[in-house]
Amino acid sequence: MKIGFIGAGKVGFSLGKYLAVKGMDISGYYSRSEMSAHEAAEFTGSELFLSPERLIINSDAVFITVPDGEIKNTYLSLPKELLCGKQLCHCSGAMSAEEAFPGIAECGAKGTSVHPLFPVSSRTESYKELGNAFFCIEGDCADEWSSIFSSVGNHTRIISSGIKSRYHAACSVASNLVCGLIEESIGLLEQCGFNEKEALTALEPLVISNIRRIFAVGPTAALTGPVERNDVSTVKKHLSCISGDIDVNVYRSVTKKLAEMALRRHPEADYTEMNELIR
């Protein structure tokens, strides 16, 4: 199978290079930025295409790796007569294949969503870590792409289109929202006299140790701290020193979830006062 890419950003670069390293046949790249497509083609040992039509003709599967908001319009701009017998894929976690590629069956083509649960942050370095990524796949050729990624060592799961928004929310909570919580913690430490670098240095072993424990035993068993101990007085002190509606609401919302977890761990405990405090 010859695999081409429309879009030469971080995801296009990284996925193309990863698949090339794993022995897949990358046909090449087309991008509105000819320079970006040239760099991606050079990086992956593939061809630069100056039009999407030429890329489609020379590919069996085409990944549209443009920003999420541009995927559908990019697809709709493609000449439908060239799509017959082709596979179109995108890497958005939030969009289903049906949303991204409306009417694709009428073109005689097939559409699939191939989403790596991985923060692709670099055009030239992230591919090295994609071997650790879990891929969630949905659409017409989900079985085929699941087999492809499984064959190169990735964990995969086929999901249904109806759960894409909830699935992507789960990914965002575990990834993007964590950035917000760390930023909140840094802000509180800065109020204690730390600068950002000192705060990050102090938090790193705490966060990493906690994350390792979570993935070793699960979040409920890993939970420590005042909520797990049902230490109402400490939580009161926390709330008294956090200023700003957003900051207080973040603390209360997350603490409510922790109280649910703590009660599951200690069903004999009475968390009534804690729940009254954080409601």
Alpha carbon of 36 to those of 39, 43, 49, 50, 52: distances in Å?
5, 10, 11, 12, 14
The token duo for 144 is 């085929």
Question: The pTM is what?
Answer: 0.89
Residue closest to 239 by CA, chosen among 228, 250, 230: 250
- β-pair type (134-139, 110-117): antiparallel
Tell me, what's the pLDDT at 241?
Answer: 92
Tell me, what's the pLDDT at 246?
Answer: 79
* CATH 3.40.50.720 holds for 2-162: yes
Fold equal for 2-162 and 174-278 = no
The CATH number of 174-278, from 2.60.40, 1.20.120, 1.10.1040, 3.40.50, is 1.10.1040
Give percent of the chain with pLDDT exceeding 70.
100
User: Domain boundaries in the chain?
Assistant: 2-162, 174-278
What dihedral angle (degrees, nearest 10) is formed by the CA atoms of 33, 88, 137, 168? 50
Strands of the sheet with 110-117, listed across from one edge? 47-48, 25-30, 2-6, 61-64, 87-90, 110-117, 134-139, 155-158
Asked whether 28 and 47 are in contact (CB, 8 A), the reply is yes
pLDDT of 243 higher than 90: no
Per-residue pLDDT of 39-64, as tens digits, reads: 999 999 999 999 999 999 999 999 99
Per-residue pLDDT of 80-91, as tens digits, reads: 999 999 999 999
Averaged pLDDT for residues 98-119: 97
